[in-house]
Amino acid sequence: MNETDDMLTLAQQAQDRAHAPYSGFRVGAVLRGGSGRLYAGCNVENAAYPQSQCAEASALGALVLGGDSRVTEVLVLGPGDRPLAPCGGCRQRLLEFAEADTPVHLYSASGEHHSLTLGALMPHAFGPDSLS
Ligand code: THU
């Protein structure tokens, strides 16, 4: 079994539960916390479109509520054939709890995937260290 299989299974379950009636674009995200526990989230859209929430933000809420404060691995899963690349806002959200070398696995529903680091997705970032 691949080491990301457990994350992918949870991401598929989260994607199935997405509330995406406006875009039809269902996303699942799974985070591994510093404790080793996994936290999933889905996108939750709203009739007032700007009030919609990305899957990564939902997963981060679960992680914080679960008592974790670090993210050590990320997997995001989108629909279609192209691996989902997290939006800019979610790259910033993840940076709050992760490191530049934190692995991020990008998946599509068809199984296309590749892995890179958060630092590669978000170079020259403004993060918690920037304030000190
Ligand atoms: N979405 C996510 O959940 N995560 C991302 O990183 C990119 C976009 C959602 C937001 C919206 O519900 C739908 O995908 C289309 O943009």
Q: Are 91 and 121 in contact (CB under 8 A)?
A: yes
Domain ranges of the chain: 3-131
pLDDT tier, 22 (very low <50, low <70, confident <90, very high otherwise): very high
Secondary structure (H, E, C), 92-104: HHHHCCCCCCCEE
Q: Which of 129, 130, 64, 73 is nearest to 101 (CA)?
A: 73
Atom of ligand 1 nearest to the CA of 87: 6
pLDDT digits (tens, 9 = 90+) for 86-100: 999 999 999 999 999
Tally of CA atoms within 13 A in the half-sphere of 90 that contains its CB: 26
Is it the case that residue 60 has pLDDT exceeding 70?
A: yes
CA nearest ligand 1 atom 9, residue: 54
The three-point CA angle 64-68-71 to 5° equals 95
Percentage above 90 pLDDT, the chain? 97
Atom of ligand 1 nearest to the CA of 90: 6
Please, is 87 exposed, middle or buried when counting C-beta atoms within 10 Å of its C-beta (0-12, 13-18, 19+)?
middle
Cα 120 to Cα 8, 71, 79, 95, 129, distances in angstroms? 21, 16, 23, 12, 17
Q: Are 52 and 19 in contact (CB under 8 A)?
A: no
pLDDT tier, 4 (very low <50, low <70, confident <90, very high otherwise): confident
Residues flanking ligand 1, CB < 6 Å: 20, 23, 25, 27, 43, 45, 52, 54-56, 86-87, 90
Its pTM stands at: 0.97
pLDDT tier, 1 (very low <50, low <70, confident <90, very high otherwise): low
**Does the 3-131 domain belong in CATH 3.90.1330.10?**
no
Atom of ligand 1 nearest to the CA of 44: 12
CA nearest ligand 1 atom 2, residue: 54
Task: Catalogue the active-site residues.
Answer: 56
